[in-house]
Amino acid sequence: MANPYSRLLVAIDFSDADKQVLERARQLAVQHQAAITLLHVVEYLPMAYVDEIPPLESVEFSKALEEGALKNLRALQAELQPLQGEVQVVTGMAKHEVVRVAEEIGADLIVIGSHGRHGIQLLLGSTANGVLHLAKCDVLAVRVR
């Protein structure tokens, strides 16, 4: 049987869950000899726009968030050595961007943390749930404790 997973997309949100998600992704990458792409999505920040042009401060702030995220992803990437991989930071709505990047890179599997929320958080939906329903490839939701 052919290897089902050769490219993994790992969604990183810089929470305490990342270690568990990365460890599971590492295990799968070793088992399937797969490349790993670490992805962080900087969520859109609600800003007041004048004449539909974002204030300079919001553009600079978003850039600073992206640069910080890239630095943090590279540190996580170093922990995955000697596994092959890359990092990406994008801005947008997390569930849509994770799915878009997965399609763009030809991911066979998306690995994402699931916090198992209840109540109003469950009604509002989670990124993991959104990715699960939108993705065209397999999704592994790692139960985070």
In this structure, what CATH number is given to the domain that contains residue 13?
Answer: 3.40.50.620
Taking the CA atoms of 108, 134, 15 and 89 in sequence, report the sign of the dihedral they define: positive
Does residue 85 sit within a domain? Answer: yes
Residue 46 confidence (pLDDT): 60
Does residue 36 sit within a domain? Answer: yes
Residue 37 confidence (pLDDT): 96
Give me the number of domains the chain comprises: 1
> Which string of b and e fits 5-14 if b means at least 16 CB within 10 Å?
bebbbbbbbe
Residue 117 confidence (pLDDT): 58
Question: Could you report the average pLDDT of every consecutive run of 10 residues in the chain (145 residues)?
Answer: 88 90 94 95 69 62 88 90 88 95 97 71 69 95 86
pTM: 0.85
Does residue 25 sit within a domain? Answer: yes
Task: Please answer whether residues 11 and 127 qualify as being in contact, where contact means their C-beta atoms are separated by less than 8 angstroms.
Answer: yes
Cis omega before residue 82 (within 30°)? yes
Q: Where are the beta strands (DSSP E) in 5-115?
A: 7-11, 35-42, 85-91, 109-114
Does residue 1 sit within a domain? Answer: no
Residue 123 confidence (pLDDT): 47
Spatial separation of the C-alpha atoms in residues 21 and 2, rounded to whole Å: 25
Does residue 131 sit within a domain? Answer: yes
- Residue-number span of the structural domain to which 16 is assigned: 7-143
